[in-house]
Amino acid sequence: EEPGDHALDSGKPNSSSDLPLESLKTVLTEDSAAGKVKRKRAQTPLEKYYLKYLCVTDLSTQSWCEQQMVYGRELPQLQAPETVVLLNTGKSIHLARELEVHDVVRVHTTSREDSWAIKILNLLSVIPVLQAGGCVRELPVFGVIEDVFLTGIIDELCYSATGELELRELKTRGQPFMPSGAQKKRDYFQVCLYKYIFDAMVQGKLKPDVITSHIQLRPEQPLGSQIREHAQKVGFMVTCFADLLELMYLNLTLSDIPGIDCLKIEYSHQESNTLLGTEVVRFEEETVLEKAQYYLAYWKGQREVQGVEIEEAWKCQSCSYSEICDWRKKRAEGPEQRSGPKKSK
Ligand code: SF4
């Protein structure tokens, strides 16, 4: 993330920067000077797109169609205008809900550590609210799965009438009816990943050095003056990035905040703002981790990109990339043209 002006409570983050991970792929190249053939390691997708971490939404989007997710990254200009409008309206609704519970302050950042300090300050500011039994919105979460750093933003965490900690994810829809089973499956995966990451955080599994080593941040980096001033206003005396990481770790592990007990997704119609329905999601850790491992294998260069299987070819009908999709073309040519293992998820 580049230094600059950042909202202290920003919206959903975008993936960013390079995470050098070991790739299993190699390619043979001609060494023209020596006339020899030598082995050169191919870039993993994480390296190719200069990513140091992924967002939870990258993985849930990938679970809809991995090939579509890749096209979305490489050719965003081909995305249907109605999809872009829907996404932007969804973002505005999230921001409006966030502003209902707190103000957004603009803070100038001078380093990558400052940008991450903002996320951590946002997290630190909600811990006492949760401890006091209150409700928080737009809660940043970070964690590691399969050696890949993941970030996300939980829409809402509240205690239910029976005292259970409940995650609520808001999904706004262009259509005035509930989504298909396939869309729900994608959303279930997203909230299950949030729970896994959040629970690991409050259980003390996110050590300060995990963050700095995965994202290649400098713990000793002094924080910018605006960050330090804001931290002081909310009660934290910090000088360098390591101070904030330590505070985050201590506050999370000593806070007695429980793990998430219940996962709910609320679907509402964007235009009329009416609630279409609520889904309660069952969390099965083994299944979630198995799926995450499968999707992360693509990012780590352990397998080729995959499109949808024939039984889900209906997804291609509403896809912005159906005209140019290589996977679709190969599928039309016959199953023997396709490479890579059969998708099992
Ligand atoms: Fe995926 Fe089908 Fe779109 Fe290709 S056309 S990206 S396989 S949904």
Q: How far is the CA of 305 from the centre of ligand 1 (A)?
A: 11
Work out the pLDDT band at 332, boundaries 50, 70, 90. confident
pLDDT attached to residue 136: 93
Whether ligand 1 lies within 6 angstroms of the CB of 328 is answered as yes
40 domain residue, yes or no = yes
Select from 311, 327, 333 the residue to mutate for testing ligand 1; criterion: most ligand atoms less than 8 Å from CB: 327
3-state secondary structure the chain: CCCCEEECCCCCCCCEEECCCCCCCEEEEEECCCCEEEEEECCCHHHHCCCEEEEHHHHHHHHHCHHHHHHHHHCHHHCCHHHHHHHHHHHHHHHHHHHHHCCCCEEECCCHHHHHHHHHHHHHHHHHHHHCCCCEEEEEEEEEECCEEEEEEEEEEEECCCCCEEEEEEEEECCCCCCCHHHHHHHHHHHHHHHHHHHHHHCCCCCHHHHHHHHCCCCCCECCHHHHHHHHHCCCCCCEHHHHHHHHHHHHHHCCCCCCCEEEEEEEECCCCEEEEEEEECCCHHHHHHHHHHHHHHHCCCCCCCCCCHHHHHHHHHCCCCCCCHHHHHHHHCHHHCCCCCCCC
Give the pLDDT of residue 101: 59
Name the least confident of 10-14, 172-176, 219-223, 233-237. Answer: 10-14
By alpha-carbon position, which residue is closest to atom 7 of ligand 1?
Answer: 307
pLDDT beyond 90 at 157: yes
48-57, 63-72, 336-345: the lowest-pLDDT one: 336-345
Res 144 pLDDT > 60: yes
* Residue 35 falls inside a structural domain: yes
Section 203-229 average pLDDT: 95
Q: What percent of the chain has pLDDT over 70?
A: 79
Residue 248 falls inside a structural domain: yes
Query: Distance from the CA of 90 to the center of ligand 1, in angstroms?
Result: 23
What's the number of domains the chain is made of?
A: 1
Domain with 171 in it = 5-337
Residues 145-162, mean pLDDT to the nearest whole number: 96
Residue 67 has pLDDT above 80, yes or no: yes
Q: Is 65 in the pocket of ligand 1 (CB under 6 A)?
A: yes
* Average of per-residue pLDDT across 245-274: 94
Q: Which residue has the higher pLDDT, 3 or 258?
A: 258
Quick check: 8 pLDDT over 70?
no
User: Looking at the predicted structure, is the pLDDT value of residue 4 above 50?
Assistant: yes
Judge whether residue 111 has pLDDT over 80: yes
Per-residue confidence (pLDDT) for residue 291, from 0 to 100:
97
Supply the pLDDT for residue 79.
78
Q: Does residue 98 have a pLDDT over 80?
A: no
The verdict on the CB of residue 69 being under 6 Å from ligand 1 is no
Summarised one tens digit per residue, pLDDT across range 208-219 is 999 999 999 999
In the predicted model, is pLDDT for residue 236 greater than 50? Answer: yes
Domain membership flag for residue 89: yes
Kindly report the CATH number assigned to the domain that includes residue 90: 3.90.320.10
Judge whether 342 lies within some domain: no
- Ligand 1: does its nearest atom lie under 6 Å from the Cβ of 319? yes
Calculate how far, in angstroms, residue 323's C-alpha sits from the geometric centre of ligand 1.
9
- Which residue minimizes the CA distance to atom 2 of ligand 1? 316
Average pLDDT over residues 45-53: 95
Q: Is residue 159 a part of any domain in this protein?
A: yes
Cα of 327 from ligand 1 centre, angstroms:
7
Atom of ligand 1 nearest to the CA of 326: 4
Nearest ligand 1 atom to the CA of 313 is 2
Least confident of 231-235, 238-242, 244-248, 334-338: 334-338
Atom of ligand 1 nearest to the CA of 65: 1
Q: Check residue 23 and give its pLDDT.
A: 38
Mean pLDDT over 109-121 rounds to 93
Looking at residue 1, what is its pLDDT? 45
Q: Which of 309, 325, 338 to mutate to test the pocket of ligand 1 (most atoms within 8 A of CB)?
A: 325
pLDDT digit string (tens) for 12-46? 434 444 333 333 344 444 455 555 656 677 899 99
Whether ligand 1 lies within 6 angstroms of the CB of 260 is answered as: no
Q: Is residue 273 part of a domain?
A: yes
pLDDT at 12: 40
Residue nearest (by alpha carbon) to ligand 1 atom 4? 325
Write the residue with the smallest CA distance to atom 8 of ligand 1.
316
Q: Which atom of ligand 1 lies at the shortest distance from residue 315's CA?
A: 8
Q: Is residue 345 part of a domain?
A: no
Nearest residue by C-alpha to atom 5 in ligand 1: 322
**Ligand 1 centroid from CA 198, angstroms:** 32
Q: How far is the CA of 254 from the centre of ligand 1 (A)?
A: 46
Please tell me the distance between residue 34's alpha carbon and the centre of ligand 1 in angstroms: 43
Give the mean pLDDT of the chain: 85
Quote the ligand 1 centre to 41 CA distance (angstroms). 28
Cβ of 315 below 6 Å from ligand 1 = yes
Residue 2 has pLDDT above 90, yes or no: no
Query: Over the stretch 282-310, which tens digit does the pLDDT of each residue have?
Result: 999 999 999 999 999 999 999 999 999 99
